Amino acid sequence: MGNAHSYIKNYNKAIEWYKKAEELGYRNVRLYNNLGSAYLKGGNIENTLKNYDIGLKIDSIFSPLLNNLGYLYTRKGEFDEG
């Protein structure tokens, strides 16, 4: 459901569904990548970084997450980080 809401650009609802999945014990890199991306699209950089960091701790070579993290740092002008 989170992905469906994210697809139609209803990011607040997407975040609610992703957090519900987390509460139910579903924790993998895709969840935190998607949750971070929903926060990013909603303009919440702090929570974006928090969730991307959790995802990286689970799988440090998950390429979609690394790509999104690079995009975020580029957007922030922190080219050395990205």
Where are the domains positioned within the chain? 2-75
**Residue with the two structure tokens 């994210």:** 6
Other beta carbons less than 10 A from residue 44's beta carbon: 16
Residue 43 burial (CB < 10 Å; 0-12/13-18/19+)? exposed
Rounded CA separation 46/63 (Å): 21
Confirm if 38 and 15 have CB atoms less than 8 A apart. Answer: yes
Pick the more confident residue, 80 or 48.
48
Taking only the tens place, the pLDDT of each residue in 28-78 is: 999 999 999 999 999 999 999 999 999 999 999 999 999 999 999 898 887
CATH 1.25.40.10 fits 2-75, yes or no: yes
Secondary-structure breakdown of the chain: helix, strand, coil percentages, each rounded to the nearest 5: 70, 0, 30
